[in-house]
Amino acid sequence: MCGIFGVIGSRESSSLILDGLRRLEYRGYDSAGLATIQYSRNNQFGELFTRKSKGKLINLSNLLQKKPIQGHLGIGHTRWATHGKPNETNAHPHLDFSGQIAVVQNGIIENYRDLSKSLQLKGIKLISETDTEIIPQLIGLEIENMLGKGLLANGKTLLSAVQKVLTLLDGTYSIAVIWSKAPDALVVARSQAPLVLGFGEGEFFCASDTPALVGFTRTVLPLEDNEVALLTPLGIELYDENGNRQRRAPSLFKGTELFADKKSFRHFMLKEIYEQPETAQLWIDRYLPSDSPSENSVAFPITKSLVEKIDQIQIIACGTSRHAAMVGAYLLEQFAGVRTNVYFASEFRYSPPPVSSNTLTIGVSQSGETADTLAALRMEKERRDLIEDSNFSFHQLGITNRLDSSLAREMDNVIDIGSGIEIGVAATKTFLGQMLAFYGLTLLFASNKQKRSTKEILELSNDLRLVPKQLVDLIKKHDALSKEIAHMFVETKDVIFLGRGINYPIALEGALKLKEISYIHAQGYPAGELKHGPIALLDQHVPVISIAVPGVVYEKVLSNSQEAKARDARLIGVAPNGSESAIFDELFSIPKVSEWISPLLTVIPLQLFSYHIAAHKGLDVDQPRNLAKSVTVE
């Protein structure tokens, strides 16, 4: 969640760190801070300076203008609070009792309570409410001990102290550490939370995510779990958890569009909604080209033999990615005939143990760094590896927008949704990309398992090819309509979204989008559930948004919508224009399409509706309160 950026080299570090943090602010923005070490020629040691501020990075930047700090070595942090309120005291970096060691951390130290108690027994007074502060304090004690034994104050001593302290920590984290008495050393470590090293010209970097580095260098090396690195102006030394020196070559990061530009849009979210036709077109060109040898084949990086083996699928994801997975599960079961279950990643650890060897486990994550999803996938791999049956193989697939992510590195097979970098915290184009990945998988399974006729498969493929153009028209139309009606919902406190069958996940996604950016309470229900409880909430103050697409559940959804209207709810339809749509007080009309592909279209008005309400309320659409784009804590 939080963002870490560090640099050591020959340039003034504070402006470089601010630049790096700016590209990491999507990870957390409730407070920010940095620490630098200024080397003094008169004194072989350096001097440590820190600056912290509550709120967005701009506050830290303003503070630095007023009170600049110098030094060629520094670490910075943008915070998403886990332990302790977002305030200056809890903002990183945290210092040790001597005020000479500074640490930034991303993640959670799970045993921090026990470690705090033992520090307090040693007379160390903790200043913040964070789990992080114990790290510099422990390093401080360790260094005191080492210096007492005659070790020299230098980078190697800092490295050894950090290595020692890491053995005491439980949790998922990455850290960066500096010490004023080692002004030519930056020590970093990773335990299941991302950290990438960057190799510049006479300078070296660390960051929580590759885009933060690309302004400085494209030569990168992701740290592996439990690795520690010592960065000096002369180079990088890498060690495994046992202290053995590791030698791995960095690679050249090839991503092209890591500098996000809002263009003429007011917010990234709106720009990203408008980019969806392009996402769909790119996906079709790449995976479903009309000139492919067999017109209905999907050019996915998954072998035919793997598809043939699989008779069950389980999908693990969180939030919007889980909604895409639910659309996928509907398609895989109903169209391709493969039994599919979807799990909340955070609940997966309570799922029944594996019984079938022919199961494909799919992890879906746009960022590829969601801790809940990664932990669930790792747990599944571990428990399957324990099964002593040579026929019991493990098949896994990742669906992500980030080929440089932990998910992509850890999965055997990966589908790149190729949506391009998404900056808005509310996922839009990546949701479309994830759904499209599932359409591709569905076509693949349906044709390989011969569950559908060639005609049906061809029809679905052809319908998909029409989607980009339909999206262009829909976005234009509903951008204008949502903008026009947004003011009517500014005072609204609750909204109910109804959908059924393949559009039930879209009702969930519509409600999630509205909650996330407009702070209006919203709930998505299967339309048939309305009468089993939620209907008690309805009156003229609770709008109901109903997704009604001609197909197997059309009549039923219309009846459920009537039930809401009869309770005075303002009824908004996402449906094709026609005589049946007359029941709606407002209509977000969509073209008459096959129910199979309808989720790709019905989600569009819901994204724009949420966007315009939030924008009308003057809210921070791209960085809504309490959220972060990449959720790297469990």
Query: 8 vs 631, which CB is nearer to ligand AGP?
Result: 631
Please, what is the minimum distance in Å from the beta carbon of residue 146 to ligand AGP?
Answer: 40
Please, what is the minimum distance in Å from the beta carbon of residue 200 to ligand AGP?
Answer: 28
Query: 447 vs 610, which CB is nearer to ligand AGP?
Result: 610
Please, what is the minimum distance in Å from the beta carbon of residue 320 to ligand AGP?
Answer: 3
CA separation for the pair 475, 470 (Å, rounded): 9
The answer to whether the beta carbons of residues 395 and 359 sit under 8 Å apart is yes
Closest CA to 212 of 255, 173, 175, 275: 255
Query: 38 vs 370, which CB is nearer to ligand AGP?
Result: 370
Please, what is the minimum distance in Å from the beta carbon of residue 518 to ligand AGP?
Answer: 13
* Cis omega (within 30 of 0) for bond into 93: yes
User: For residue 153, how many C-alpha atoms fall within 13 Å in the half-sphere facing its CB?
Assistant: 15
Q: Which residues bind ligand AGP (CB under 6 A)?
A: 318-321, 365-367, 370, 373, 425-427, 516, 630-631
Dihedral pair phi/psi, residue 78, rounded to 5°: -110, 135
Crossing angle between the packed helical segments 276-287 and 454-485, to the nearest 10 degrees: 170
The answer to whether the beta carbons of residues 292 and 299 sit under 8 Å apart is yes
Query: 31 vs 373, which CB is nearer to ligand AGP?
Result: 373
Ranked by CB distance to ligand AGP, the top (closest) residue is 319
Dihedral pair phi/psi, residue 181, rounded to 5°: -85, 0
Please, what is the minimum distance in Å from the beta carbon of residue 571 to ligand AGP?
Answer: 26
CA separation for the pair 561, 537 (Å, rounded): 14
Please, what is the minimum distance in Å from the beta carbon of residue 497 to ligand AGP?
Answer: 15
The answer to whether the beta carbons of residues 141 and 40 sit under 8 Å apart is no
- Indicate which residues carry an active-site annotation: 2, 629
> CA quadruple 128, 131, 136, 142: dihedral positive or negative?
positive
For residue 15, give the amino acid letter.
S
Please, what is the minimum distance in Å from the beta carbon of residue 373 to ligand AGP?
Answer: 5
What DSSP designation does 294 have?
S
Query: 39 vs 265, which CB is nearer to ligand AGP?
Result: 265
Query: 276 vs 320, which CB is nearer to ligand AGP?
Result: 320
CA separation for the pair 131, 83 (Å, rounded): 6
The terminus-to-terminus CA distance of the chain in angstroms comes to: 10
With H, G, I as helix, E, B as strand and everything else as coil, classify residue 247.
Answer: coil
Supply the DSSP string of 75-93, one letter for each residue. Answer: EEEEE--SSS-SSTTTSSP
User: In which order are the strands placed within the sheet that holds 171-179?
Assistant: 94-95, 101-109, 171-179, 186-191, 228-232, 235-239, 245-246
Query: Do you know the residue count of the chain?
Result: 634
Query: 131 vs 509, which CB is nearer to ligand AGP?
Result: 509
Closest CA to 547 of 467, 622, 493, 601: 601
